[in-house]
Amino acid sequence: MDKKDSLAYFSQIDALIEQCRAPLVKKIQALVAIDSVESASLPGMPFGAGPAKALEQILADCRELGFATENLDNYVGFADYGEGEPTLAVLSHVDTVPFGSGWTCDPLSGLVKEGRIYGRGTYDDKGPALTSLFALWIVKQLGLRPRGKIRLIFGANEETGMQDMVWYLKHQPQPDMAFSPDAPFPVINGEKGILDITLSCQIPESDMVLSIMGKGLAKHVPDAAAARLQLTDSQQEALRAAIQAWPEADVFTLLPQEDGSLLLQARGISSPATSPEKGSNAISILLDLLGRMDFLPAQWEDFVQAYNRYLGYDYTGEALGCASEDALGATLTLNVGELHYEDGVAKLMLHIRYPVLADFSRIEGAFAAMCGETGWSYAITRHMPAHYYPADSPLVTTLMNIFQEETGLLEAEPKWMSGGTYARTLKNAVAFGPLFPGEPQRAHGPDEYVTIDSLLKAMRIYVRALIELGC
């Protein structure tokens, strides 16, 4: 159905949206109450009991509203309205990241306060998933029929690998077009490539460096790192002097251990790995300090100096030779998230987001060259290629027109983002809301919330999108 025809339904749509307010809040609270962080696989539950329970809950909500559903082995499920082709799909997910610390309310409570619903998944992505469900219910209440079918797809593994969509595509055909309500508005038609790389270096065990480690939360700049060292009195004196001369106070702590060694701790500032410039990497701080010492064993010295040369405080990839910026203005970011030393091997875990239109082979080539010079080795542990969908496509132009008309933001244009959504798993898909410009992004952090009025505003946009793209 074209825009002109959809306009005739506006007054009915507004009345039905207001009718959805109370049940939408109630269903979000019920879904948020399920802890759906991935856990150990169980028979028939590939991502653990929580994601499976959340998936069945939202499919039950779909059936309650009159839609036929199917659960594909607790990997992913879907609800259909209409039959045949073409298929317009809306992709959302019911799994969440771990709670983390810093909450002022129970992350499973679904607390409603000052027009907001608080809890893990309220914004990412349980609230938007249910908003799209009610949007489809409104289309049905209007008596409109899809040209083919409209399918709501609900995944259970978006946060930890998107293997749910791999499973879906093994058992179901690609939709003809799709959008994912799991991002900021307006249309996100470009998503950076995601790359996890492990660097390894063989270092013989020594009596001086007993252990070394640094670890951030998943996809975060590490705010703590430590090395356990066995030092002579003169070496301890040199280390204390270097700490004293450090330009910032309270960055390092030296703790005597029962075995006579010293635990050297470095403090950084955590931030999302997609914005490493907002943090301060404790691993880099620690190795910077150690690199200024002249008492490290030779192979540890080589490792530390190589780290400081190729990685250090650089989060752009310039030191490695893989810095890049594409025609969309997207740049590469690099974060060293973890460092471990055990059994004679030092391992660094890196997380990279590379530009939408970048040449991946150039990035991998930079690591190959660095390893050739240092004797290190690298292994790609995860690679999700960048995603781009043309800005002049009917899908993007239709969604952009709807957003501009609904918000009055006539200068808005399609955007790229560092984050990843299900859109990257399909050929003809983009991300589309529900976060409006100027609203804070609370996904993955403490006190995650979604504003009820904003969800209802997004629901109106989604109703129009379903009508104009699918009916």
Domain ranges of the chain: 3-191+387-470, 194-384
User: Is 413 tagged catalytic?
Assistant: no
Q: Quick one: 164 exposed, middle or buried, by C-beta within 10 A (0-12, 13-18, 19+)?
A: buried
- Percent of the chain scored above 70 by pLDDT? 98
**Catalytic residue (choose from 35, 38, 61, 95):** 95
Same topology, domains 3-191+387-470 and 194-384? Answer is no
CA–CA distance, 79 with 152 (Å, rounded to integer): 5
* pLDDT given for residue 218 in this prediction: 59
Torsion-angle region of 7 (φ positive above 0: left; ψ -120 to 50: alpha; else: beta): alpha
Residue 2 has pLDDT above 80, yes or no: no
pLDDT, average across residues 270-280:
90
| Rg (alpha carbons) of the chain, rounded to whole number | 25
**Catalytic residue (choose from 35, 38, 61, 158):** 158
Fold of 3-191+387-470: Aminopeptidase (3.40.630)
* pLDDT given for residue 48 in this prediction: 98
Fold of 194-384: Alpha-Beta Plaits (3.30.70)
- Spatial CA neighbour of 200 closest among 303, 273, 302: 303
Other Cβ atoms closer than 10 A to 15: 11
- Spatial CA neighbour of 445 closest among 270, 279, 190: 270
pLDDT, one tens digit per residue, over 296-340 is 999 999 999 999 999 999 999 999 999 999 999 999 999 999 999
pLDDT, one tens digit per residue, over 183-202 is 999 999 999 999 999 999 99
Type of residue found at 39: S
Structure tokens at 100: 């983390």
* pLDDT given for residue 11 in this prediction: 83
Residue 1 has pLDDT above 80, yes or no: no
Residue whose pair of structure tokens reads 């405080």 in the numeric block: 313
pLDDT, mean over the chain: 94
Omega before residue 256 within 30° of 0, cis: no
Beta strands in 160-296 (DSSP E): 177-180, 183-184, 187-191, 193-202, 209-215, 224-229, 252-256, 262-267
∠54-57-62 over CA atoms, to 5°? 130
User: Is 95 tagged catalytic?
Assistant: yes
pLDDT, average across residues 71-95:
97
